[in-house]
């Protein structure tokens, strides 16, 4: 995609969003978790998108969206939020394989060539949402290939976007996928064809280079750290994906994810579950481990009936979350997406970030404040 078309798409994505009521209120909040960040929003590279959802009598849904500093042309590292579309598209691809006559489902075992360890797509997806497992994401990345991922997202109108790499390792940008072998039963197997993908080209955005120094091979390097070959998944696209996923009836057929009723239920369960429900140790992986909005600043068990269908990402000092938050008891539902950079020493890849001190408390309080505003609307 050329630079002119990319810029045009960015401008389109931002049409209809305007900083208005709710964020003017939040900027005046006396809560220290919000006050510090909103007063230094440029430093923290904050972007927030919020959509109020109204269910009409005719069964339709209306969206009222507001934003704070939304700018698709200013880069932030999306980290593990890219695992959400990869999980969804993996379920779609399984359905494509089934439609071609192959008896492969999300519970079918597979392994990679020259590796005897078995996995399933279902277990990979559960691991992605329960504890944001990088290895599970990398396996699904091999299943899809980067060209397929980007093509499918753009076909659904989810652009601009560029998902180009696996997480960690010297082969993260490898363009040829690994050979996957599915077990079909009765000693029968299916070798998924490997795919040859386009090599990522450097991105050109504001803030694509960040900081004053970075760590590389245990050595401190002076100068800005570049994200030019990293994934690009701007907040507006993350937010739009949540709309199309949870309210498909409001979008045309081409924009809807092609999921069976069973797969949709499975995905919703995976997105909203807590780690212990997926079999992880609750002491290490507490309920809010992957739920920053509302609950992120506490490790206490979550007892509320509020459902948070979300994906978080955190790396290189950037925290991002996109979520559909639904309180069925009080008929409250809204979509919230936000990103914040917390890197006081402006050194990247040194694992010295203010996630616990600033980033997560900000996202937790932001979620609570907006939930309370939504709740008050229902009670008026």
- Interhelix angle 121-131/83-99, rounded to 10 degrees, is 170
Contact in structure between 176 and 142 (CB atoms under 8 Å): no
Closest CA to 180 of 141, 126, 127, 134: 141
- Interhelix angle 146-155/134-144, rounded to 10 degrees, is 80
- When pLDDT is averaged across residues 28-46 and rounded to a whole number, the result is 97
- Higher-scoring residue by pLDDT: 20, 356: 356
DSSP secondary structure letter of residue 298 = -
Rounded CA Rg of the chain: 21
In this prediction, residue 57 carries a pLDDT of 82
Token pair listed for 133: 């497992």
Closest CA to 77 of 268, 235, 191, 310: 235
Long-range contacts, 352-355 (Cβ 8 Å, 24+): 353/316, 353/317, 354/317, 355/314, 355/317, 355/319
pLDDT tens digits for range 128-167: 999 999 999 999 999 999 999 999 999 999 999 999 999 9
- Interhelix angle 261-272/83-99, rounded to 10 degrees, is 160
Q: What three-state secondary structure class fits 161?
A: coil
User: What are the CA-CA distances from residue 343 to residues 80, 165, 289 (Å)?
Assistant: 18, 23, 21
E-only strand ranges, the chain:
47-55, 61-68, 109-112, 119-120, 180-185, 188-192, 209-210, 213-216, 219-222, 225-226, 307-315, 318-327, 332-341, 347-348
| pTM, 2 dp | 0.93
- When pLDDT is averaged across residues 110-118 and rounded to a whole number, the result is 96
- Higher-scoring residue by pLDDT: 4, 82: 82
CATH 3.40.190.10 describes domain 3-379: no
In this prediction, residue 15 carries a pLDDT of 37
Residue 170: pLDDT band (50, 70, 90) is confident
As a whole number of angstroms, the distance between CA 180 and CA 4 comes to 38
User: What are the CA-CA distances from residue 40 to residues 37, 67, 149, 368 (Å)?
Assistant: 5, 17, 36, 20
pLDDT tens digits for range 304-354: 999 999 999 999 999 999 999 999 999 999 999 999 999 999 999 999 999
In this prediction, residue 149 carries a pLDDT of 98
Contact in structure between 285 and 327 (CB atoms under 8 Å): no
Determine whether 292 is exposed, middle or buried from the number of CB atoms within 10 Å of its CB (0-12, 13-18, 19+).
buried
Contact in structure between 238 and 372 (CB atoms under 8 Å): no
For every residue of 276-289, DSSP letters joined together read GGGT--TTTS-GGG
Query: Over 80: is that where the pLDDT of 1 sits?
Result: no
Query: Over 70: is that where the pLDDT of 19 sits?
Result: no
Long-range contacts, 279-284 (Cβ 8 Å, 24+): 280/130, 280/131
């Amino acid at each position: 995609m050329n630079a002119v078309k990319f810029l045009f798409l960015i401008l389109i994505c931002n049409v209809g969003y305007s900083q208005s009521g709710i964020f003017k209120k939040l900027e005046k909040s006396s809560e220290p978790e919000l006050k510090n960040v909103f007063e230094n929003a440029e430093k923290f590279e904050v972007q927030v998108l919020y959509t109020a959802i109204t269910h009409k009598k005719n069964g339709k849904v209306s969206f009222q969206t507001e934003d704070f500093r939304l700018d698709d042309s200013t880069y932030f590292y999306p980290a593990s939020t890219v695992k959400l579309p990869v999980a969804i598209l993996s379920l779609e691809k399984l359905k494509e394989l089934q439609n071609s006559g192959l008896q492969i489902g999300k519970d079918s075992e597979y392994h990679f060539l020259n590796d005897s360890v078995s996995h399933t797509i279902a277990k990979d997806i559960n691991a992605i949402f329960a504890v944001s497992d990088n290895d599970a994401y990398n396996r699904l990345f091999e299943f899809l290939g980067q060209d397929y991922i980007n093509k499918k997202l753009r076909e659904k109108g989810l652009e601009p976007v560029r998902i180009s790499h696996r997480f960690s390792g010297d082969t993260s940008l490898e363009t040829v996928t690994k050979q996957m072998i599915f077990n079909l039963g009765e000693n029968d197997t299916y070798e998924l064809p490997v795919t040859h993908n386009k090599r990522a080209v450097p991105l050109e955005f504001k803030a694509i280079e960040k900081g004053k120094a970075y760590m590389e091979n245990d050595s401190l390097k002076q100068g800005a750290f570049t994200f030019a070959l990293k994934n690009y998944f701007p907040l507006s696209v993350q937010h739009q994906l949540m709309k199309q996923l949870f309210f498909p009836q409001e979008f045309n057929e081409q924009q809807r994810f092609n999921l069976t009723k069973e797969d949709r239920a499975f995905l919703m369960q995976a997105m909203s579950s807590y780690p212990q429900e997926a079999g992880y140790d609750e002491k290490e992986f507490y309920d809010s481990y992957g739920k920053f909005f509302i609950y992120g600043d506490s490790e206490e068990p979550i007892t509320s009936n509020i459902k948070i269908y979300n994906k978080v990402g955190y790396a290189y000092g950037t925290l991002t979350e996109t979520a559909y938050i639904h309180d069925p008891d009080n008929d409250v539902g809204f979509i919230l997406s936000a990103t914040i950079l917390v890197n006081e020493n402006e050194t990247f890849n040194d694992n010295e970030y203010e996630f616990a001190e600033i980033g997560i408390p900000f996202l937790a309080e932001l979620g609570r404040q907006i939930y309370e505003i939504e709740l008050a609307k229902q009670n008026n």
